[in-house]
Amino acid sequence: FKVDDNIGGHFDIIIYFDLDKWNIRPDAAVELAKIVDVMQQYPTLEIDVRSHTDSRASHRYNERLSDRRAKSTIKWMVAQGIAKERLTGKGYGETQLVNECADGVECTEEQHQLNRRSEFIVKKL
Residue-wise pLDDT for 52-65, tens only, equals 999 999 999 999 99
Amino acid occupying residue 76 = W
pLDDT digits (tens, 9 = 90+) for 67-88: 999 999 999 999 999 999 999 9
Rounded to two decimals, the pTM is 0.93
The SS3 of residue 70 is: helix
- What is the structure's pLDDT at 3? 46
CA angle 17, 23, 27 (to 5 degrees): 60
**Residue from 24, 1, 5, 20 nearest 113 by CA:** 20
List CB contacts of 82: < 8 A, sequence separation 6 or more: 36, 39, 40
